[in-house]
């Protein structure tokens, strides 16, 4: 299982939100490159980079941070936040991202997302599924749709998407443990999927539990920044 550390960006700084709430913001480091290099030095290979300014604005804002990290580390970066136009996706790839991360757009504008998959190649996208009680949540988690996560995943696997990460909104940023039951159900239904867990990871044991149920990756953020998991421990998972 691959450990994928997360860096969330506001105003060019490394921050974390609790349950997606911009009012519950903690700044961890003024220099995201410094954080990324720590991850690289610890032997981690990937990075989940989220442009929170972009997510709020509906257009990519912190592409310079992406460009800096991509040019000065060898991390395989997925970048998301505010991807609404094909031109923004192109900027993300031109700035050094290996994957573009898409969430709400795949729910709200399926036709546009499918065009992107065809234009750039489905293997270039990391699809995010935010979930409340097995249903897809959108608009910064403020709105829960009628779409079951299983139908959502099935539809986009059929379009060629290979990597999907799933965040249980009720768990994110709360350090209360991941949604093992939900993830087990998803992996059982889609055993060939490159499934990445996200949200709630609070300890090395949580990561071991995710590995045991067959997750191919796990996104970890707050637990690292709060010192619940030490970087040197991640090499042993």
**CB pairs under 8 A, 24+ apart, for 25-33?**
26/225, 28/225, 32/7, 32/65, 32/68, 32/69, 33/65, 33/68, 33/69, 33/72, 33/73
DSSP state of 103: -
Question: Which token pair is 68?
Answer: 């800096």
Active centre residues (catalytic): 8, 130
How far is residue 120's CA from residue 159's CA, in Å, rounded to a whole number? Answer: 13
Question: Rounded to a whole number, what is the largest CA-CA distance in the chain?
Answer: 43
Q: Which of 127, 65, 53, 134 is nearest to 96 (CA)?
A: 65
How far is residue 90's CA from residue 60's CA, in Å, rounded to a whole number? Answer: 11
User: Any bridge partners for residue 135, and if so which?
Assistant: 132, 148
């Amino acid at each position: 299982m691959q450990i994928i550390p997360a860096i969330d960006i506001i105003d060019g700084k490394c921050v974390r939100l609790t349950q997606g709430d911009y009012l519950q913001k903690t700044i961890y480091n003024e220099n995201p490159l410094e954080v990324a290099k720590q991850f690289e030095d610890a032997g981690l290979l990937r990075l989940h980079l989220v442009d929170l300014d972009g997510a709020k604005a509906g257009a990519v804002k912190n592409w310079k941070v992406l460009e800096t990290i991509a040019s000065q580390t060898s991390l395989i970066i997925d970048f998301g936040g505010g991807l609404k136009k094909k031109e923004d996706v192109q900027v993300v790839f031109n700035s050094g991202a290996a994957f573009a991360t898409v969430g709400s757009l795949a729910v709200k504008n399926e036709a546009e997302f499918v065009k992107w998959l065809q234009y750039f190649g489905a293997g270039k996208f990391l699809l995010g599924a935010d979930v409340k009680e097995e249903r897809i949540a959108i608009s910064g988690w403020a709105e829960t749709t009628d779409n079951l996560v299983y139908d959502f995943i099935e539809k986009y696997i059929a379009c060629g998407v290979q990597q999907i990460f799933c965040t249980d909104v009720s768990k994110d940023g709360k350090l209360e443990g991941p949604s093992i039951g939900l993830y087990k159900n998803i992996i059982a239904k889609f055993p060939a999927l490159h499934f990445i867990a996200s949200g709630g990871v609070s300890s090395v044991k949580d990561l071991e539990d995710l590995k045991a149920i067959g997750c191919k990756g796990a996104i970890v953020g707050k637990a690292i920044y709060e010192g619940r998991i030490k970087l040197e421990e991640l090499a042993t998972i």
